[in-house]
Structures are given as structure tokens and as C-alpha cells.
A and B are shown apart, each in its own frame.
Chain A
Amino acid sequence: MTINRQSFWDQDTKTGLWRIVLEYQDKRSKALDKNNLKEESFREEIYQVKSQALAQIDQLKKQAVVNLEANGIRVFEAKDDNQARKIIEKLLEGKKRIIKAKTNAFGEIDQKGFLSDKNLQETDLGDFVISLLGEPEAHPVLPALHLSPAKIAQAIEKKYQKKVAPTAKGVAEFARGYLRKKINQAQAGITGANAITADGKIVVLENEGNISLVSRLPQTHIVVAGFEKIVPSLKEALMVVQASAIWGTGQDWPAYVSIIASPSKTADIANETVIGAQGAKEVNLILLDNGRSRLIEAGFSELLHCLNCGACLNFCPVYHQIGSHYGDKYLGSRGVVFAAFSASFKKAKSANCFACTLCSACLENCPAKIDLPELMRKLRTLLEKEGLQTRENEKMIANIRQFGNPFGKIEAGKIPKELYCC
């Protein structure tokens, strides 16, 4: 198995990426200081919050469903991506103009052709830009980090016949104007969730403000989230928010945090409750399994600590070379492991399971302390059982079995040519 030549990033992109990553690193420590947090103890707290929640996830999920529905939020549990798509299609029946904010869970269930009869508009600036250029996302928090303002401005000019200053500001201003119209006309909005509480609240963080608009302005709001987002209460949810901001973008707190507890309502007239005042009239939550139960059963539940902050990629040597070719629906090592359970072991192999050097830079940078290299190694034991090894590994193990070393027969005075080592 070899990685395709075209998969490698060019030097300029790599240099640009390093600049951003090192700036983030710096901002992260400042954000921790500003919040009076010690990196190690805060990571341990997040680890505890997530592992304790996962240990009782069935119960928390039941509570969440009961409490959300009592508040008027409809909850749908989707076993897999197919079911999730069907539910969404049903919810969007008769609706044509759909807006969407950043949601990785939607990306997880998305498929070519899905909602192609709709006018689906990305409203996150980064996602808007990559969909405009037809590029894959380069990073979960910074999807367009590999594209220069000049290149983006050019693409805008070509598509919308509009001159845009080739700067970050120019692009943002254009998007604000262009997207505002789409947002105002939309009939339904799709977002994700950063946390869901067992007592029935959906928590979403953002900087741009588009999530607030997408979740409030259209009549229908659809939230797509994995069930592992459920934590007991707002206390834990806000810790998740804080960690996501610090590790995701190096901010001490995001610009906005929405806590959605019910559809919009008013009782101003005759004290009679009317659902649907200025905000969304209908709130629907799709709770995804899509391999998560299998993952827990197989002993990989630590992966579900993930906050999707992307920090694991920032110092990953493989990501720095091949970007979105490493992983599947989610980028990097966590995406490889997730693919094994949401898609197939074969998929995990083609998502480059054997490209990981097990260097541990991801673990070191993960706010939830997910031991990704250990999960990756464990995943390889499963691939091995499925007969999905690489040719080189097969040679290596044959040598170990026969000669007690990975190189093969050692001839006196000679140095082995093929080095199958660790």
C-alpha cells in the first residue's frame, strides 16, 4: 500500500500550516493562563467528565431523550448514516432552501447526492469557501486553512462576478452580504452540537454568529450529533465548551455559546403559550450511533471523548504531509479509528491506518487525553485478524518467526538490505 503522489501537500501549504499551528500553540497557553487553568489538571478533568459520562451513557441518553421531548424538542435516534439521512430527508420534505452551519456529525453521514435536490447553503465561512472551490476540508476547525485569500477572491469573482479584495477581510465581507440573504430566506437550518445535557439542553459554540442565525431564523432547526455528546449537566457541558475553544482555536472563550432548551415560544398574549415566536418553531435532534456502540463494545470508547477540536492534527507528522488523505470522515488518527467501526476495517486501512508512526504527538495535544496511538495499535491487531495486513508487515513477521529478528537471515559481515523495523 502506498500513498498516492498527489496526496502530498506542497511546500507553501506546509509552511503556511506551520505558521498557523505554532501561533495556535502560543495562543493556547495564553488562553489557559487567562482562565487560570493548569493544562495537565484541566485535561485530566475533561478526561474524567467524558469517561464518566460514557460509562453511564445508556442511562444519560434515556434521560436526555425524556427531558428534551418534555421541552418540545423532537429526538430521533439513528442507528446508522442511512437512517440519519432518511430522517433528515423526511424533516426537509417540501423545503427547498436549507442553510447549514459547521457540523462534523453531518459530514459523517453526508453522501454524494444526498439533498442534491435542495439548495443547501454552507454558512460557516471556511466551509463556504471550500465548497465554493470544491476542495476537501483541510482541518476540522479551519477547513480552508490551505487556501490563500487571493485564491479565494479569484474563485468568488469567477462564480459571482463580483470583485473582492484579496484579503481575509474582503472575503469575510463578501460572505456576510451574500450569506445574509440566503439565511433570511431559508426554511430550515442544520447545525451540530458540542454538548447535550441529560437534563435536556443542546449546547453549541461558535465565533461567526452564523450558528445563532441558522438555529433561530428558519422555521425548522435540525441538530445532528453523536450520542457521545451527552453529559450530565451544564456544568460539564461548559467545561467541554471551554476546552473546545482553548484547544480548537486558542481562545479563552468563544464569541457565542447557544444553549437551546426548547423551540422558540411566547406567552405574552393572554398568557397563552404559542410555539414559534421569533426563533425556530421546530427543533429536531438526530442522535447518531453509526458505529459508536460497536466502538464501545470493542473497547475503543476512549475515542468518544473527542471534542472535535482538531488539536491532534496540529503536530501530527502524517497530517502535515497528506492532510485530508489521512483519516476518513474525520481527519487524522481518530478518523482512521472511527472509520473502522462506522464503515469497515477495510476503510480504516485505506484511510491510512498503517501510515501512523505512533509518535504520540496527538495524545500530547488532546484536551480529552485520548490515547490515539494506543487505539491505532489496537486497531492494527484487529486488521491483522481480518487479514488486512501490509505486504511489508507480512515479511517482517515472517522474519521474526523464522529468524528472531525483523530483517531475515543475517549473513556474517553484511548489513541487511530490507529494514522492516519499528
Chain B
Amino acid sequence: MKFLDKILGGNTLYYPGCLTKFVAKDLEEKYQKILRQKGIDFITLSELELCCGSPALKAGYQADFKKTAKKNMKIFKDHGVTRIITNCPACFMVLKKYYQEVLGKDWNVEVEHITQTIKNSKFFGNWKPARPAGGLGIGNSNRETVSYHDPCHLGRQMGVYDQPREVIKSLGYEISEMDLNRKNSFCCGGGGGVQSNEPELANKIAQDRIGQAKKTGAKILCTACPLCYLHLKENAKGIKVKELSELFNFDQDKNDNK
């Protein structure tokens, strides 16, 4: 039955995006493990697939973007892809919103951000908290606090605010919000090509964001975007920056979740 479903329903592709695939490689490995643990069947295309075209789109290379979108669509179709899961908010936004815009009706692939996939999976919450309630297990008082940075492309642009927070909480962390959160979240400074075009500006913005996170008293600043993650991490002092997948405790998984 499952086999038939797969044939009729097509393939789910895990699309890490260039930054995860080539730079923050360990995130890819982690996310693949998480998806498997959540019971999600997926394929990967590694270097067969192209960049989603986000950098081209945002820098103003509209024709290049359209070409890239067309090429990718063909690759996805050749592999029977009907659903894409990505952990990169920029890819998510571009594949969902802008592919639709330039490809029109031909583009009928479902696109999800991985936090949505995790939240909706039937095994959601089925991961032993990395940080169980401490001490004698009384209440939540000993839980480690995390501050969550909303990636602009995930939050403001695509309206995904709750799922990452719920995933974080399901792992046993408490969230301590910054003054600027959700729709008023403050950009990390790296997006829109600014990290390469205006590095000093990008770093100053990130340092301000780090300062805002430190004010919450949290020891960890977590985000669900590889670009925010790398960029904030590079500018962090006095606080640990972690990508969402890094909050999952994989050692424990090996021992306990067999």
C-alpha cells in the first residue's frame, strides 16, 4: 500500500539549499536524521539539483532566476518530486512564492519549511528532550532558556512564527523572547546580498541583534535559517548561536530511541 502511495503520490525531496549543502554541511546530516526519525520518506538529489536562484532573484538578475527555476523544475519532474522539504527559509520562500510567480501553473510542487514538517509529523514531540527538567524534575524551573531569532524570510515573509518555537519547546527548552520578535523581529543583517555587498554593515546589524538576544539572559540564541545562523555565529560574543537542528540530542537518540 505504501509502495503504491509513493508511486501515485510522487517523491518527497529534501532540499537543503546551497548554504547548508556546501557550507553548513553538518546541518544537512542532522536534518536528514531528524526526518528519518520522524518517519518521513524522502529522496535527495545532491549535486543534480541547482541553487534555487534566490541570490540571483534578490540581486536583480530576473532572467537568470527564471532560467534557474525552469531548469530545477525539469530536474524535480524527472525525479517525480511532488513535495519539497527545505530547512532554508530563503529557498522555502523562493520555491513556494517566486517559482509559482515565474512558472505559473506548471509549478505544482508542495513546498514546506522543515519546522512545519517536524511539527506536523506523527512523531512530533517523540524525541527525548535534550534538556529534561533538571534537578529532581520539579516543574520547568530548571529548563535551559533559548532565545529564538525569527528569520525574515520565514517569519515576516512567509508567516511561519509558531512551528519553530513549538519544535524548540518540544525539545525541553524554554523560550525567552527578545523585545523584537515575530513580526517585529530584527533582521540578522546578512540577507538580500548584504553580507557580500556590505560586510561591515551586515556585521554591525548582527552585533546589534546579538546584543538584543543577550539582554534576555538566555545562553543560547537559536534560529532556523542557515544564513542567519552562520552570520550571527560569526558576530556572536557572550552567547552561543545554534541552528535549530543542533538542539536535537543525537547521542541520546542512538541509545534511547532505537
Contact = CB atoms under 8 A, between A and B. Distances in A.
Interface of A: 1-3, 5, 8, 14, 22, 25, 315, 317-318, 320-322, 352, 354-361, 363-365, 377, 379-384, 389-390, 392-393, 396-397, 400-401, 404-407, 410, 415-416, 418-422
A357 B197 contact: no
A282 B80 CA distance: 74
Contacts of B59: 354, 380, 384, 389-390, 393, 396-397
A1 B64 CA distance: 23
Contacts of A421: 18-19, 54-55, 90, 190, 193, 195-196, 227
A359 B192 contact: yes
Interface string B134-177: 00000000000000000010001100000000000000000000
Given A317-B187, A318-B201, A322-B201, A358 B192 contact: yes
B60 A419 contact: no
Residue from the set A3, A322, A383 with the largest chain B CB neighbour count within 10 Å: A3
Contact of B194 (A355, A380, A382): A355
A319 to B, nearest CB: 11
Given A320-B205, A404-B50, 20 more contacts: A5-B200, A8-B204, A14-B208, A317-B208, A321-B204, A356-B194, A357-B189, A360-B152, A360-B157, A377-B58, A390-B193, A393-B60, A393-B61, A396-B193, A397-B56, A397-B61, A400-B53, A405-B51, A407-B22, A422-B55
B198 interface: yes
Contact of B22 (A1, A25, A377, A405): A405
Q: Nearest 8 pairs between A and B by C-beta?
A: A380-B60, A359-B187, A358-B192, A384-B60, A422-B54, A359-B152, A357-B192, A404-B50
B57 interface: yes
Interface string B198-230: 101110110010000000000000000001001
A392 B44 CA distance: 30
Contact of B60 (A25, A359, A363, A381): A381
A339 to B, nearest CB: 16
Contacts of A396: 55-56, 59, 193, 196
B64 A400 contact: yes
B23 A416 contact: yes
Interface stretch (B178-186, B237-245, B247-255): B178-186
B191 A422 contact: yes
A397 B54 CA distance: 11
Contact of B187 (A361, A381, A418): A361
A18 B18 CA distance: 35
Contacts, number: 172
Q: DSSP majority for the B interface?
A: helix
B22 A315 contact: no
B68 interface: yes
B64 A356 contact: no
B257 interface: no
A407 B68 CA distance: 15
Contacts of B56: 396-397, 400, 406
Contacts of B189: 317, 357
A8 B201 CA distance: 8
20 contacts: A317-B186, A318-B201, A320-B205, A357-B189, A358-B191, A360-B156, A361-B152, A361-B187, A389-B60, A393-B59, A400-B55, A400-B64, A401-B64, A404-B51, A406-B51, A406-B56, A410-B47, A415-B22, A419-B19, A420-B55
Contacts of B60: 377, 379-384, 389, 393
Contacts of A400: 50-51, 53, 55-56, 64, 68
A416 B194 contact: no
B23 A422 contact: no
Contacts of B157: 360
Contacts of B184: 25, 315, 361, 364-365
Interface string B37-52: 0000000000100110
Contacts of B205: 317-318, 320-321, 357
A52 to B, nearest CB: 25
Interface string B1-27: 000000000000000001100110100
Given A321-B204, A400-B53, A406 B198 contact: no
Contacts of B192: 356-359, 422
Given A3-B200, A419-B196, A407 B179 contact: no
Contacts of A420: 55, 193, 196
A8 B156 CA distance: 26
Nearest to B88: A422
A377 B193 contact: no
A390 B60 CA distance: 11
B227 A357 contact: no
A413 to B, nearest CB: 10
Nearest to A417: B23
Nearest to B186: A317
Nearest to B189: A317
Contacts of B194: 318, 354-357
A317 B179 CA distance: 15
Contacts of B186: 315, 317, 361
Contacts of B179: 22
A396 B58 CA distance: 11
Contact of A354 (B187, B198, B200): B198
A365 B198 CA distance: 24
B120 interface: no
B108 interface: no
B26 to A, nearest CB: 11
